[in-house]
């Protein structure tokens, strides 16, 4: 196993995909930090609250539509592994059509969506007004955001992580610069923060389109999209995969929404401590996402090529990296967790609360890392049903655990989250073990038929 881990060519392929995505993902929390800092220095606190509330709704919508990138990566990687250039083009054209249709749907439903979402808000009128202002401007970035998801997925499926990295980095850097310019320079307040994000998303789209045109002509892409739009058969098959990934994402998001609302019921200091510790988990997810991207791309390629040896070697190397990253985070939080907490908050009561639950955060990386890694494996295998079913099982485990342990109050939330992550990891690992043992992983990868022009 050590010789396999030191397999230089395969290690380079893993690193070439994982490292750029980890580095580019670091720009995401940096952008959130700048948004918070800029809005937090405006005259009234409701500006900060409005940006937080409005951006949460936008983030939820775009997160739920993240299946556009995932399915595109898996299907493209399989076509790439099979050396099927027509299949790669078909996947791109179908996914772009779906992105455009979903963007038009979001734009047409923006008013009822905002009214419904903010009707559940107990925030002040001033905060709700600023949140609705932010949402009303920010939603116009939907076409650029969704198309960028498809482009990044397509590039990753073709084993190219550099292009998605540049799209993410350029988008977030432009956003940060325009934040400062629009708000501090022009005095546009919340509207400026939202407008900066819209302009930045379209700047990223321009870059993505420019990179795409290095691989195919606009005429070729338009012809492929027109052909798929006329037939629609391929879109129906793609919807089947995306539906399952969407349901998986919906279950995942519901868990963290529940944690936020239930934690608030335990008091202000507790909900603040939970937010600090969940930022630790966010760092784990950004790092593990880089590994998951590599799994999506490399597993999809091996399956497309029907190369069981390459698939086995890839899974082994990725699993070893997964274990090492988890141990690094767990050990780091164990040794320096209290220091990290003090860097994130200077409020003594919040620091004391966070220290009570730090043990859960030390353990979580070891439980959660496998879920992120195996998500990438089954996305590369385009097994949307497997991902959906695993998440449903994990959600049931989360709900039952919290119900049985609710007397523990906030500890019950962290225990339930631990059960949730462990359930995801164990259920996906069981499916992977069974498919590998029965030699069905290669043949079981098609939740949908392969696309054809």
pLDDT digits (tens, 9 = 90+) for 285-318: 888 888 888 899 899 999 988 888 888 888 988 8
Radius of gyration from C-alpha coordinates of the chain = 22
Residue 201: per-residue pLDDT: 93
In a domain, 5, yes or no: no
The number of domains in the chain is 2
Domain limit, last residue, from 191, 215, 231: 231
Classify residue 285 as exposed, middle or buried by CB count within 10 Å of its CB (0-12, 13-18, 19+). Answer: middle
User: What is the pLDDT averaged over residues 258-267?
Assistant: 76
- The chain-wide mean pLDDT, for the chain, equals 84
Domain region containing 340: 237-453
Domain limit, last residue, from 204, 231, 258: 231
- Report the C-alpha gap between 353 and 297 in whole angstroms: 41
CB atoms within 10 A of CB 173: 16
Of the candidates 275, 270, 358, 284, the one whose C-alpha atom is nearest the C-alpha of residue 322 is 284
Say if residue 452's pLDDT is above 60.
no
Are the beta carbons of 344 and 279 closer than 8 angstroms?
yes
Torsion of CA 58, 289, 279, 385, to 10 degrees: 60
Looking at the structure, tell me whether residues 170 and 293 fall in a common domain: no
Looking at the structure, tell me whether residues 260 and 399 fall in a common domain: yes
- Report the C-alpha gap between 277 and 272 in whole angstroms: 9
- Report the C-alpha gap between 283 and 300 in whole angstroms: 26
Looking at the structure, tell me whether residues 191 and 249 fall in a common domain: no
> In the chain, what is the straight-line distance between the N-terminal and C-terminal CA atoms, in Å?
42
Question: pLDDT grade, residue 46 (50/70/90)?
Answer: low
Looking at the structure, tell me whether residues 227 and 241 fall in a common domain: no
Looking at the structure, tell me whether residues 211 and 226 fall in a common domain: yes
Question: pLDDT grade, residue 122 (50/70/90)?
Answer: low
Could you tell me the CA-to-CA distances from 173 to 32, 34, 176, 308 in Å, in that order? Answer: 12, 11, 5, 41
CA atoms within a 13 Å half-sphere pointing along the CA-CB vector of 181: 11
Domain limit, last residue, from 213, 231, 249: 231
CB atoms within 10 A of CB 102: 18
User: What is the pLDDT averaged over residues 340-349?
Assistant: 77
Question: pLDDT grade, residue 236 (50/70/90)?
Answer: low
User: What is the pLDDT averaged over residues 39-44?
Assistant: 64
For residue 155, give the H/E element and its range.
helix 142-157
Classify residue 208 as exposed, middle or buried by CB count within 10 Å of its CB (0-12, 13-18, 19+). Answer: buried
- Report the C-alpha gap between 361 and 366 in whole angstroms: 10
């Amino acid at each position: 196993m050590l010789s396999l881990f030191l397999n230089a060519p395969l290690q380079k392929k893993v690193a070439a995909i994982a490292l750029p995505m980890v580095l580019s993902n670091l720009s995401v929390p940096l952008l959130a930090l700048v948004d918070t800092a800029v809005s937090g220095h405006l005259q009234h606190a409701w500006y900060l609250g409005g940006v937080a509330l409005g951006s949460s709704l936008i983030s939820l919508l775009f997160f739920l539509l993240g299946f556009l990138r995932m399915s595109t990566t898996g299907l493209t990687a399989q076509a790439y592994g099979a050396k099927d250039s027509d299949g790669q083009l078909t996947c791109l054209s179908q996914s772009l059509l779906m992105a455009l249709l979903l963007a038009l749907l979001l734009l047409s439903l923006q008013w009822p969506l905002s009214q419904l979402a903010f009707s559940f808000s107990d925030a002040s009128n001033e905060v709700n007004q600023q949140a609705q202002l932010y949402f009303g401007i920010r939603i116009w970035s939907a076409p650029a955001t969704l198309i960028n998801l498809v482009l990044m997925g397509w590039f990753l499926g073709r084993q190219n992580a550099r292009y998605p990295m540049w799209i993410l980095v350029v988008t977030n850097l432009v956003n940060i610069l325009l934040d400062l310019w629009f708000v501090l320079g022009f005095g546009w307040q919340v509207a400026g923060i939202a407008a900066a994000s819209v302009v930045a998303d379209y700047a990223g789209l321009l870059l993505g389109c420019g990179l795409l045109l290095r691989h195919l002509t606009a005429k070729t892409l338009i012809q492929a999209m027109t052909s798929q739009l006329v037939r629609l058969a391929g879109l129906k098959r793609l919807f089947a995969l995306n539906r399952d990934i969407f349901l998986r994402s919906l279950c995942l998001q519901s868990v963290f929404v529940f944690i936020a609302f239930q934690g608030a019921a335990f008091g202000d200091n507790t909900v603040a401590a939970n937010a600090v510790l969940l930022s630790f988990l966010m760092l784990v997810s950004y790092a593990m996402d880089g590994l998951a991207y590599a799994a999506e791309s490399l597993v999809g390629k091996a399956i497309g090529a029907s190369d069981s040896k390459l698939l086995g070697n890839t899974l082994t190397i990725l699993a070893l990296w997964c274990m090492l990253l988890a141990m690094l985070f767990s050990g780091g939080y164990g040794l320096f967790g209290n220091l990290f907490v003090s860097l994130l908050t200077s409020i003594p009561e919040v620091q004391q609360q966070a220290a009570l639950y730090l043990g859960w955060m030390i353990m979580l990386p070891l439980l959660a890392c496998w879920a992120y890694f195996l998500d990438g494996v089954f996305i590369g295998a385009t097994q949307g049903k497997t991902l959906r079913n695993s998440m449903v099982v994990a959600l049931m485990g989360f709900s039952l655990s919290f119900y049985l342990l609710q007397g523990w109050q906030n500890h019950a939330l962290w225990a339930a989250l631990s059960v949730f992550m462990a359930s995801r990891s164990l259920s996906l690992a069981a499916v992977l073990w069974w498919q590998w043992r029965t030699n069905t992983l290669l043949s079981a990868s098609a939740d949908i038929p392969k696309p054809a022009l």
